[in-house]
Amino acid sequence: MRSSTKTLVYAYLATLVVGTVGWSIASLTGLGHWYFALAVMSALALLVTFRKELSPAVSTAIFLSSTAVIMACVSWQTYLVAAAGRWSAVAFAGYKLTALAVAFVAPVPVWGAYLVIALCALNPTVQTLLASSEIRANYPQSEPWVSIVYAMVAFFVLRHRLRENELARKVSALEGERRTIEHVAQIFLGLRDLTNTPLQSITTTAWLLKRGHVTPTEAAEHLDSALVQLRELSEILKTYEHEVDYRPTDHAFDAVKFLQEKLAHMKPPKSD
């Protein structure tokens, strides 16, 4: 099952369970919708407390279920007030607040946030259009347009926040890449330092040998000593061999060309 489908199933089940339990408590005790909301929030708090690490699917399910319950409450409450013949200036206020809250919190996954904002525009519209003329008369004349405007503002705020997050993510990735390159460059500097002294010893030994300034035995001793230093370096590098992810095509390669290609890709990213 795809992750998004799984999330929707979780959200549906959570809404069903939390909504039924909360609604039952509210009906049985004769308490109002505030107590119902309290029951819903308590159930969610318990769920979050007992799950130490919530997977994205579960946390999205909680987010969708809680907003679904809030939207159901708001629709029902708005209808009850209008049906009772009372005019309310704050009809559908819950939808407006939900849309703005979602835009500022910018939950993950993004489709969940867009879905809730779309419902915050759609539900008041449908509820207004389907209402009888008596009920409609008790809704503000400006509805559902105000709810739609709130949802649109929420949509743009969310979009802006998501772009900002994406930009921050890219900057962070570039910074990480820059640090890695700096780290690798430092390793290369260390390698260069470790190899240059034994190389100087080898070069000088060969030169002295050619000019007859050292005996072959003395030269061999100096070369051995230089090779010990190079072997130490090889041992250090050997411990990292298993970290390399070899590809099936990596049978034989030109080491010099390989290094040149890898180093060419290591140019630090430009920071604008």
53 part of the interface to another protein, by CB under 8 A? no
The smaller minimum CB distance to another protein, of residues 170 and 213, is found at 213
Q: Count Cβ atoms within 10 A of the Cβ of residue 237 and give its class: 0-12 exposed, 13-18 middle, 19 or more buried.
A: exposed
Identify which range of 72-80, 93-101, 150-158, 185-193 contacts another protein by CB under 8 A.
Answer: 185-193
227 part of the interface to another protein, by CB under 8 A? no
Q: What is the closest distance, in whole angstroms, from the C-beta atom of residue 257 to another protein in the complex?
A: 22
78 part of the interface to another protein, by CB under 8 A? no
Identify which range of 62-70, 139-147, 184-192, 259-267 contacts another protein by CB under 8 A.
Answer: 184-192
> DSSP characters for 157-181?
HHHHHHHHHHHHHHHHHHHHHHHHH
Cα separation, 56 vs 68, whole angstroms: 18
The smaller minimum CB distance to another protein, of residues 160 and 210, is found at 210
Contact 98, 112 (CB under 8 A): no
The smaller minimum CB distance to another protein, of residues 137 and 237, is found at 237
Map tokens 């095509």 to a residue.
249
Identify which range of 74-82, 124-132, 198-206, 236-244 contacts another protein by CB under 8 A.
Answer: 198-206
Contact 151, 118 (CB under 8 A): yes
Identify which range of 74-82, 92-100, 122-130, 210-218 contacts another protein by CB under 8 A.
Answer: 210-218
List of residues 6+ apart from 230 with CB closer than 8 A = 195, 198
131 part of the interface to another protein, by CB under 8 A? no
Q: Which two tokens stand for residue 21?
A: 């339990």
Residue 106 CA: distances (Å) to CA of 35, 101, 116, 149, 163: 27, 8, 11, 18, 11
Q: Which listed residue (3, 27, 172, 197) binds another protein by CB under 8 A?
A: 197
Q: Which listed residue (203, 215, 234, 260) binds another protein by CB under 8 A?
A: 203
The smaller minimum CB distance to another protein, of residues 27 and 203, is found at 203
Residue 130 CA: distances (Å) to CA of 94, 123, 258: 19, 10, 70
User: Residue numbers of the site for another protein (CB under 8 A)?
Assistant: 185, 189, 192-193, 195-197, 199-205, 207-208, 211, 213-214, 222, 225-226
